[in-house]
């Protein structure tokens, strides 16, 4: 596990402390998750996946940190609820109810089933497993990240 920059850790501690007693199903995914698991990437924000109930709770609990109000976004391959927070200068992208276009049909994602937990500096962090991240980055056509994740998974298997 890589070292998390202090400003990311501080923001994550604040986020976690605000949501921890509210029965919210959430996990980190994206570049910060990859970096935490030893993939050679530099995170620029914190991506959080949750369900719709968790999304609405986060929106209410962290209302003072909202920098981009919630909206429903549809892109070519994905659609979801979306909200951006700014906590101590760190951007948090909160995403919920992701649907993916697979073979031309929209399918609800079950990514939160692929989470695990790690204790980092006395903070329990839910995060997505690398295999789930690999599937997501493949679907997005992010070949650069796919290559890096595959390299990390290969190194893990050779240990």
CATH number of the domain residue 56 falls in:
3.30.460.40
What number is the average pLDDT over the span 102-107?
A: 77
Give me the pLDDT at residue 1, please. Answer: 56
Between the CA atoms of 77, 83, 87 and 90, what dihedral angle is there, to the nearest 10 degrees?
A: 20
Residue 42 domain-assigned?
A: yes
In a domain, 1, yes or no: no
pLDDT tier at 101, thresholds 50, 70, 90: confident
Could you tell me the pLDDT band of residue 82, with boundaries at 50, 70 and 90?
very high
Find the domain containing 90 and state its range: 6-152
pLDDT at residue 140 tops 80: no
Query: Would you state the pLDDT for residue 142?
Result: 87
Please report whether residue 138 resides in a domain. Answer: yes
Average pLDDT along the chain: 89
The answer to whether residue 81 sits within a structural domain is yes
Residue 2 above 80 pLDDT?
no
Number of domains in the chain: 1
With respect to residue 157, please indicate whether it lies within any of the assigned structural domains: no
């Amino acid at each position: 596990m890589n070292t998390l920059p202090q400003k990311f850790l501080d923001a994550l501690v604040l986020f976690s402390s605000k949501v921890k007693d509210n029965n919210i199903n959430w996990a980190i995914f994206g570049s910060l998750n990859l970096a935490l698991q030893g993939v050679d990437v530099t995170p620029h924000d914190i991506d959080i996946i949750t369900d719709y109930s968790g999304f609405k709770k986060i929106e209410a609990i962290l209302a003072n940190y909202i920098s981009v109000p919630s909206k429903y976004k549809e892109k070519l391959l994905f659609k979801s609820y979306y909200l951006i927070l700014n906590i101590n200068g760190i951007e948090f992208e909160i995403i919920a109810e992701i649907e993916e276009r697979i073979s031309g049909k929209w399918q609800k994602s079950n990514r939160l089933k692929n989470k695990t937990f790690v204790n980092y500096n006395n903070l329990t962090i839910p995060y997505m497993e690398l295999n789930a991240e690999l599937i997501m980055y493949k679907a997005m056509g992010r070949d650069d990240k796919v290559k890096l994740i595959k390299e990390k998974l290969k190194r893990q298997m050779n240990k």
